[in-house]
Amino acid sequence: MSTPAPVVGTFLAADTPVPVRKPGLHPVPVAASVQIFQGSCCCVDSNGNAQLAGDQVGYVYAGIAEFEGANNSSGTAGAISVMLNDAMQVHVGGSGFTQASVGLIAYWISDCQVQTASTTNSIIAGKIVQFISSTEVIVDPRIRN
């Protein structure tokens, strides 16, 4: 017997199983005319469709296409989906990183690059958790402040 999820704004009076999704792999519909390559970091746009991460209005980080890409370059929005992993730290590029970059918030500039200076739309990639070199860091997208 299925129990519906509780209504927001009320208090439960009994144990109520709530459907949850564990962080990790999940399918996301791909935006129209978009090709996502394996290894691409992705955001969802304001319509909930996967796009390559970048500094675009309304984007929110959704995960990395860890195992395979999705070519919807000739399709309509949602014609195919991509499996994204939202539970992992990502190795990304950029420039000007130092050990002092650890702990700073990073902002997307492309699907594989970030910077620590706020961008036009300030799309948060996550917190820098490891310095590798002046051009490479590890970002944890789950830490957003």
Domain extents in the chain: 25-85, 90-140
Residue position matching structure tokens 């939202």 = 86
Instruction: Give every CB contact of residue 44 below 8 A, 6+ residues apart in sequence.
Output: 28, 50, 51, 59, 60, 62
Q: What is d(CA 33, CA 51) in angstroms, rounded to the nearest whole number?
A: 10
Instruction: Give the whole-angstrom CA distance, residue 111 versus residue 117.
Output: 17
What pLDDT is recorded for position 23? 82
Is 0.85 surpassed by the pTM of this model? no
Question: Could you read off the pLDDT of 8-32 as tens digits, one per residue?
Answer: 567 777 888 878 777 889 999 999 9
Q: For 86-112, what is each residue's pLDDT tens digit?
A: 999 999 999 999 999 999 999 999 999
